[in-house]
Structure 1
Amino acid sequence: MDRTEKRDFVASLATVFAETSFVLVGQNKGMTVAHVSELRRRMKAAGATYKVAKNRLAVLALNGTDFQGIKPLLKGPTALAWSRDPVAVAKTAVDFAKTNDKFVILGGSLGTQMLDPVGIKALAELPSLEALRAGLLGMIQTPASRIASVLQAPGGQVARVLAAYAKKDESTEAEAA
């Protein structure tokens, strides 16, 4: 990389850090290209980004962001993962780390809050943003459907009573004739 490429890389990474809510730091020492590609594919499917970056450039990009606390983690062969949905990144990384012992989660940052590997695993156990949205939508729809059934019930009862009176009147007219 020449200076302009480095400068552009730092600027783009700083933009990412300004727009995201969560950054995970992992150590990818000894991972094959196939393993890294598989992890990238999984991260992309989860709506996250996984990037191997030079530590010195990543530290420059972290300056002035909420994620400055992860600077001490950037030693050796590290990679960064980020997304707007912190749970998606954490779940994907934890699941991948279970099947690949060469990928080690070093920690991360949820805004200004630093997380160690145990904190990342705890975050991974939370329901995803999509699951939370679906649950919330279900909770919102349930009262509406209950209200509709309650409002329809008296009308249905009145209709059944009127139908019973109509049948009763028909039967008494048939008996009189």
Structure 2
Amino acid sequence: MKAKAKAKKSDKQLLVDSLSAKLGSAQALFYTDFTGLNVKRMTDLRRRLKKAGVEYVVIKNTLALRAVNESGLVSQRLKGPTGVVVAKDGITAAKVLSDFAKENDQRPSVKGGIYEGNAVDEAM
């Protein structure tokens, strides 16, 4: 039983380390609430972001915050389902998110994030 717990803990740490590494070269990080998006729309969103060179990661809030804090950034607390948008080009990422939300009843909504080291609020 203890071996399983250690494996899970190391798996979680791998997720945190991977996200931390991605954040090191990112210009922007946006937290999104994807509630209300079905699988088809979620796949479409991921496809659009990937085409724009942007990564979209769904990860537990505690792990996302740990990765952000380990990368030297400071972030707000997160609640509810969260998708993390990691982008080298923050403007392109914001445009893809905005355009997609306009077409899909304002989903996903942006909870906040970080752009060039500055906090971004939900009013983005």
Q: TM-score, normalised to structure 2's length?
A: 0.86
Distance in 2 separating the partners of 1:100 and 1:59: 27
Deviation >6 Å, runs of 4+: none
Match of 1:144 in 2: none
More helix by share: 1
Residues 59 and 84, structure 2, Cα contact 8 Å, conserved in 1: yes
Which is bigger in relative contact order (C-alpha 8 A, separation at least 6)? 2
Residues 21 and 71, structure 2, Cα contact 8 Å, conserved in 1: no
Distance in 1 separating the partners of 2:27 and 2:72: 9
Give unmatched runs, 5+ long, in structure 1.
Answer: 121-177
1:64 shift after superposition:
3.7
Task: Give 2:81's aligned amino acid.
Answer: P
> SS state of the match for residue 63, structure 1?
helix
More strand by share: 2
1:9 shift after superposition:
0.5
Task: Give 1:10's aligned amino acid.
Answer: V
- Residue 25 of structure 1 is aligned with which of 20, 31, 39? 31
Identical-pair percentage? 32
Q: TM-score, normalised to structure 1's length?
A: 0.61
1:103 shift after superposition:
1.5
Match of 2:16 in 1: 10
Write the deviation string for residues 90-109 of structure 1: whole angstroms up to 9, x where unpaired.
00000111111242111221
Give unmatched runs, 5+ long, in structure 2.
Answer: 1-6
Residues 49 and 81, structure 1, Cα contact 8 Å, conserved in 2: yes
Write the deviation string for residues 32-53 of structure 1: whole angstroms up to 9, x where unpaired.
1111110000001111011111
- Residue 109 of structure 1 is aligned with which of 92, 99, 114? 114
Task: Give 2:48's aligned amino acid.
Answer: R
Structure with bigger gyration radius = 1
1:83 aligns with 2:87: yes
Superposition RMSD on alpha carbons, in Å?
1.6
